[in-house]
Structures are given as structure tokens and as C-alpha cells.
Amino acid sequence: MTNAKIKWVALVCCAALTGACDDEDSIGGGGDSSAMTDGGPDSGGGPGGPPPEPGDGDGDGDGDGESDSGDGDGDGDSGDGDSDSHSPIELPDSLYNYANPDLPAHFRTAAVEALDNTPNNNPVTDAGATLGRVLFYDTALSQNETISCASCHEQSTGFSDTLDLSEGFEGGLTGRNSMGLSNSRYYAPGHFFWDERAATLEEQVLMPIQDSVEMGLTLEELVARVSERGYYGPLFADAFGDEQVTSDRISRALAQFVRAMVSYQSRFDQGLEQAGDVLAPFANFSDVENQGKALFLGGQARCGVCHLVNAPPQPGQPPALNNQAIFMFDRPSNNGLDANTSDDEGVGAVTGNPQQSGQFKIPSLRNITLTGPYMHDGRFETLAEVLDHYNTGIENHPNLDPVLRGPDNQPVQLNLDPGQLAAIEAFLGTLTDDALLTDPKFSDPFVG
């Protein structure tokens, strides 16, 4: 965005909103905001689609509430003391770099790049993601202007929600836990929500906005809300060439912002760069963390078989481990939470395929120590409980993932001892990316 347009954004709000600047909520508010949540098994409403029914909320994150800029100290941030008092948002004079992050080598392999679900018609751009950031934090996108996408996707918790079920604009609860958003771009199938009912991220971002529990707007109301706020005109023009507001453009901008949330600066990433071999001990790890890494990747705990997707090894050969970056399943799975899943059939309820009953999308392990409570219903409060489930608590559901069955076709019992479980939990802590959790380009741009 040009300096002139930034200053225009800073000055136009009060005139455009005819006095609404006295009411923080009426100008977008910011910082208290729920859009990537899961609208529930019955939700619909992709771009141009019908509004969804009350939902289940599987999104996350809101940011740390700190503004990016605008202190007038000559550091390149937008605005000075005079203009900031009139502006609902603060953006830097020069756009943040969303489009070309400096990814380490293990993110630039062919295997990892093949997982990227970015469509050709919606690449991440600096201007598009900047618009998406403002939309993500804007409470104007909910019926009573109290909820934004960020209400259920807090930056400080890996763009997730700390509640079992998220709260909608009138206090109603979603049907499922909010899922973290980091590295969403690397889920190759490209489907979103726990039950994968959204075919693309572009579809998904509009569904919570239309959900009657979560945010409660129709697409027509959404376009009207955004159009009447003067700070959006220059942002749409920078992103799309003119100031026209459409639900498709809103969808594309939000999707760009979410895809830009790439987690690649954890202690694991730093250790891998230094060691050059994921199987070697990492110098920046403790002995316990290295033990946990070996268990995670090895044959006893077998966590990496699913959570670090790679092609099956050749007979008699070790796995190639061409993917050492994306800690995420490449498909939905039934992980044996319950022997009977009639209360929530997950993917099976969407597809109608009984062999998919009880399957759910599996979230990334990036920032996993911060994204609890865990599972689609938030049943586990701690990672220790999650590990106990895989160690001794897997239920024998008919659609249990084959990876979780032993040679006798029964659920596996890993029988790890307490020290081994603690070591795996310590290793998972090395996937926390403090840089992403505090990066101002993903924080709340709204003033106040």
C-alpha cells in the first residue's frame, strides 16, 4: 500500500462512518474477535452458498491485541500522534512480507511443496494478506459486532481457542473445538473443518461468518458491512485493483492471510538446520528432548508414521523422510477415541460413507503445547492425556485407522513407560514457534 493510501485510511474513517468513531464496535473494534471455527456437521454456505445451520467451531487464534505501529517515533510505522486518533487500524508504511517468507531448506523440498494447497487463482500476496489480516480481526463481520475470526483463533495460542467449545456472537457454543490454523496451506487434500465439509480454504473462511451460532451474517450483509467502512476501500484496491467489495474477494483475502501463517522457526527447525539430519541428536535439545525425538520418529512410539507424512519405505529400507517439516496427517483418520461414534460421525456424516464414520481431520502438531484442549470435542485438557490415549486407551472402532492396529488386528498398546511419555511430550514442546506467536504482521491491527 502506498504512503498516501495509508494516510487516507487513517483519516477517512470518521467521515465515512458519520460519527461511528465514538463506538469501538461499530468501527470494527478488533482484538475480541471467531471466524475460522467449525460451523458444525450441518453447516453449509461456501461462496455464494446458503447460510449454514448452527455450528461446531473448529477454528483458532486471535492475536496478542498489540498494534503493529503508529507511535510516531520515526520507526517506519504508519501514522503519527495526530492521525492515529482518527484511525481504527494501524498498518505499516511498507507492507509486511507475507508472500515470500525465508523458509529453511527442509520446507523447500519437492515433497513438502507438493503438500501446498494454494490454488493458482489465489496466491498469497502482501496486499491480499494485509486485507485478510484486517478482515480476520474485524468484529464488524459478526451480527452484533462482538466477534471476529480471531476470537476463536488467538495468535498467542497457535491461532486456536483455549475453550473446549467456542462461544458465538450471542454466547451460544459451537459443536466442536476450534482447530489451530498454522501451516493450513500444507494440508494437501485442501479440505477444512474437522469433518472436511469445506472443499477449499476459500470456501471455509466464509462459513463461520454465515453460521447462526458463530457470527450470524448473510453474505449480502457481510458485503454491506465491509463496504460501508471507509478503511477498506484502499485495502481492496491494493489487493484487487479497485475498491469493489465482494464475498469472493473477502474469501480470497482471508484465505491468503491464513495460508501465510507458516510455522517454521521453532527450536526443532533450528536444530534440524544445525544438524542436517533429523535422526541425529540436535545440539540445541536437551537429552530428554532428543530421547523424545527418537521415540517420535522410531518404531516403538511410531508417531512420525502419521504425523510426519512420507512415502512408504521400500522393503527392507528406512523411510526416506523427504518431509521433515509438516507435522500433519495427509488424510482424515479414526484414532480410536470411541468404539461407537454415533453422536458425531465426522467425515462420514458429510460423505455418507459408513467406512468414514468416526473419521476426523487431524490438526498440525506445530505449537501443539499451546493449542489445547485436544480432539474435535476438546475432551483432553493436556498433552499427557493425549499420549495416555495412544499408549493404552485406543478403542476398537470398526473404522480404526489401520496404523493403530497391531498384528492381531486389535488396537495397539504401545506400553511406553512414564519417562518415555514425558520425553515425547518434551519433544513436542520443541515445535512451539515463538516467532509466529509474536510476529506483528499476524497481530490485531485495530486501535484500542
The radius of gyration of the chain's CA atoms, rounded to the nearest angstrom, is 22
List the grid coordinates of 206. Answer: 466464509
Residues 6+ apart with CB under 8 A from 348: 341, 354, 355, 356, 357, 358, 359, 399
User: Contact 115/323 with Cβ under 8 angstroms?
Assistant: yes
- Report if residue 78 sits inside a domain: yes
Q: Are residues 217 and 314 in the same domain?
A: no
User: Residue 153: which of 75, 255, 67, 58 has the closest Cα?
Assistant: 58
- Check residue 120 and report its DSSP letter: T
List the grid coordinates of 387. Answer: 499420549
pLDDT of residue 87: 62
Number of domains in the chain: 2
User: Contact 279/297 with Cβ under 8 angstroms?
Assistant: yes
pLDDT in tens, the chain (448 residues): 444 444 444 433 433 333 333 333 333 333 333 334 454 443 334 444 444 444 454 443 333 333 343 343 334 344 333 333 456 999 999 999 999 999 999 999 999 999 999 999 999 999 999 999 999 999 999 999 999 999 999 999 999 999 999 999 999 999 999 999 999 999 999 999 999 999 999 999 999 999 999 999 999 999 999 999 999 999 999 999 999 999 999 999 999 999 999 999 999 999 999 999 999 999 999 999 999 999 999 988 989 988 998 877 677 777 678 999 999 999 999 999 999 999 999 999 999 999 999 999 999 999 999 999 999 999 999 999 999 999 999 999 999 999 999 999 999 989 999 999 999 999 999 999 999 999 999 999 998 6
Q: Are residues 186 and 313 in the same domain?
A: no
Distance, in Å, from the CA atom of 209 to the CA atom of 35, rounded to the nearest integer, reads 6
- Report if residue 447 sits inside a domain: no
DSSP H helices in 58-147: 81-84, 110-113, 126-137
DSSP string, 152-192: SBBGGGTSB-SSSS-B-TTSPBPSSPPPP-TTGGG-TT--B
pLDDT of residue 10: 41
**What is the three-class DSSP state of 129?**
helix
The boundaries of the domain holding residue 44 are 3-262+437-442
List the grid coordinates of 142. Answer: 459478526
- Report if residue 206 sits inside a domain: yes
- Report if residue 406 sits inside a domain: yes
Q: Are residues 158 and 131 in the same domain?
A: yes
CATH of the domain at 352: 1.10.760.10
- Report if residue 186 sits inside a domain: yes
Q: Are residues 251 and 324 in the same domain?
A: no
List the grid coordinates of 415. Answer: 506400553
pLDDT of residue 263: 98
- Model pTM score: 0.82
- Report if residue 120 sits inside a domain: yes
pLDDT of residue 222: 98
List the grid coordinates of 5. Answer: 493510501
Q: Are residues 226 and 101 in the same domain?
A: yes
Q: How many CB atoms lie within 10 A of CB 63?
A: 27
User: Contact 194/39 with Cβ under 8 angstroms?
Assistant: no
User: Contact 431/365 with Cβ under 8 angstroms?
Assistant: yes
- Check residue 149 and report its DSSP letter: B
Q: Are residues 256 and 277 in the same domain?
A: no
> What per-residue string of b and e applies to 251-268 under the rule 16 or more CB within 10 Å gives b?
bbbbbbbbbbbbbbbbbb
- Report if residue 225 sits inside a domain: yes
Residues 6+ apart with CB under 8 A from 287: none
Q: Are residues 364 and 342 in the same domain?
A: yes
Q: Are residues 206 and 284 in the same domain?
A: no
Q: Are residues 256 and 271 in the same domain?
A: no
pLDDT of residue 13: 41
Q: Are residues 200 and 282 in the same domain?
A: no
Q: Are residues 279 and 244 in the same domain?
A: no
Q: Are residues 248 and 145 in the same domain?
A: yes
Distance, in Å, from the CA atom of 146 to the CA atom of 138, rounded to the nearest integer, reads 9
DSSP string, 221-232: HHHHHHHT-TTH
Q: Dihedrals φ, ψ of 359, to 5°? A: -85, 145
